[in-house]
């Protein structure tokens, strides 16, 4: 099963992708996490990506595409995967379709997690992330058992630099202009589904599971 998560920054893509990954036993591939790992490890890619991410802009396609295509070629992706945060532009979607076509396959489900912009800012300001294992929490909606500590791995949680209010506004603008057109693109491919992302995490997950079967 090959799944794409679409939706605004902070809509809950990562949260849902993690739950799907656990239930269906397929890897979650988050380009944001890959970029952040590169920044932490001070790689060349990380240095280049950081300047864009800090401004709330997308990392250019030429830095993103090969990375994803290489990742999808790894053994653990043979039985399917969930892409969380990719594609984010029409050229990325076209490149993905092309790469999959070469293997005679395609995306089975594109899932749009719908959340209005008004709710997004609130979600982002309370988001806390684990820099070690990538788990995400919310200080109100999904708090860790112990304040500021990851339930899964015990690392200290952080607030992402790009989750500040000004950067969030910028990311939303970028989302509407560059990423939202993908909804039309996947509608045309016949695999587009939407879920109401304003409900609780469990309710949203229930809707997604009903869809995936
Ligand atoms: P969010 O969870 O808020 O949607 P992500 O962790 O997916 O954010 O992405 C954080 C940042 O990483 C983005 O704002 C962008 O700069 C960069 N990024 C992630 N995925 C992509 C992509 N597919 N194309 C371009 N830039 C990306
Ligand atoms: P994305 O990957 O789309 O950027 P996240 O999964 O990181 O979004 O979620 C953004 C923030 O909102 C996190 O703090 C997360 O804990 C919280 N969150 C996710 N889903 C819900 C939900 N259904 N209701 C309330 N808060 C949520
Ligand atoms: Zn952790």
Other C-beta atoms closer than 10 Å to the C-beta of 20 total 23
* C-alpha to C-alpha distance for 85 and 117, rounded to whole angstroms: 17
User: Which residue intervals of the chain are DSSP H helices?
Assistant: 13-24, 31-40, 44-54, 61-72, 90-102, 117-125, 165-174, 181-189, 201-212
pLDDT value of position 166? 87
Distance between CA 31 and CA 28 in Å, rounded? 10
Q: Please tell me the predicted confidence (pLDDT) of residue 88.
A: 98
Domains and CATH numbers, the chain: 2-26+79-115+175-212 (3.40.50.300)
Reduce the DSSP state of residue 1 to 3 states and report it.
Answer: coil
pLDDT in tens, 44-55: 999 999 999 999
Number of DSSP helices (H) and strands (E) in the chain, helices first: 9, 7
Active site residues: 13, 88, 127, 160, 171
Mutate to test the pocket of ligand 2, among 17, 138, 152 (most ligand atoms within 8 A of CB): 138
Nearest CA, atom 6, ligand 1: 32
| Contact predicate 175/114, CB 8 Å | no
C-alpha to C-alpha distance for 108 and 186, rounded to whole angstroms: 10
Q: Long-range contacts made by residues 181-190, C-beta under 8 angstroms, separation at least 24?
A: 181/90, 182/6, 182/87, 182/88, 182/89, 182/90, 182/93, 182/110, 183/6, 183/112, 185/90, 185/93, 186/4, 186/6, 186/93, 186/107, 186/110, 189/97, 189/106, 189/107, 189/110
Instruction: Judge if the beta carbon of residue 137 lies within 6 A of ligand 2.
Output: yes
Nearest ligand to residue 130 Cα: 3
Question: Going by CA atoms, what residue is nearest to atom 20 of ligand 2?
Answer: 12
CA of 104 to the centre of ligand 2 (A): 34
Ligand nearest to the CA of 135: 3
Separation between Cα atoms, residue 142 and residue 144, nearest integer Å: 7
d(CA 55, CA 62): 18
Atom of ligand 2 nearest to the CA of 113: 3
Cα–Cα distance measured from residue 108 to residue 122, given in angstroms and rounded to the nearest whole number:
32
pTM of the model as a whole: 0.95
> Is the distance from the beta carbon of residue 126 to the nearest atom of ligand 2 less than 6 Å?
yes
Nearest CA to ligand 1 atom 5: 32
Ligand 2 centroid to residue 133 C-alpha, Å: 16
Query: Which residue's CA is the closest to the ligand 1 atom numbered 4?
Result: 9
Question: Quick count: other Cβ atoms within 10 Å of Cβ 66?
Answer: 12
Atom of ligand 1 nearest to the CA of 57: 16
- Tell me: the pLDDT tens digits for 141-182? 999 999 999 999 999 999 998 998 889 999 999 999 999 999
Dihedral sign from CA coordinates of 119, 82, 153, 158: negative
Return the CA Rg of the chain: 16
Which residues, given as ranges, of the chain have pLDDT below 70? none
Whether ligand 2 lies within 6 angstroms of the CB of 138 is answered as yes
């Amino acid at each position: 099963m090959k799944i794409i998560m679409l939706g605004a920054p902070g809509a809950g893509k990562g949260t849902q992708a993690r739950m799907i990954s656990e239930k269906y036993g397929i890897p979650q591939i988050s380009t944001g996490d890959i970029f952040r790992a590169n920044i932490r490890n001070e790689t060349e890619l990380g240095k280049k990506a950081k300047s864009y991410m800090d401004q709330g802009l997308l990392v250019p396609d030429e830095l993103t595409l090969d990375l994803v295509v290489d990742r999808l070629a790894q053994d653990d992706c043979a039985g399917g995967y969930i892409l969380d945060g990719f594609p984010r532009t029409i050229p990325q979607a076209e490149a993905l379709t092309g790469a999959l076509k070469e293997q005679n396959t395609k995306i089975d489900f594109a899932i749009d997690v719908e959340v209005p912009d008004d709710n997004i800012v609130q979600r982002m300001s309370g988001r806390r992330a684990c820099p070690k294992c990538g788990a995400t929490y919310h200080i109100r909606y999904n708090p860790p058992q112990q304040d500021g500590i990851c339930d899964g791995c015990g690392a200290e949680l952080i607030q992402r630099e790009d989750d500040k209010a000004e950067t969030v506004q910028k990311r939303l603008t970028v989302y509407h202009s560059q990423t939202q057109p993908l909804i039309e693109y996947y509608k045309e491919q016949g695999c587009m589904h939407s879920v109401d992302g304003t409900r609780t995490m469990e309710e949203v997950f229930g809707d997604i599971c009903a869809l995936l079967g």
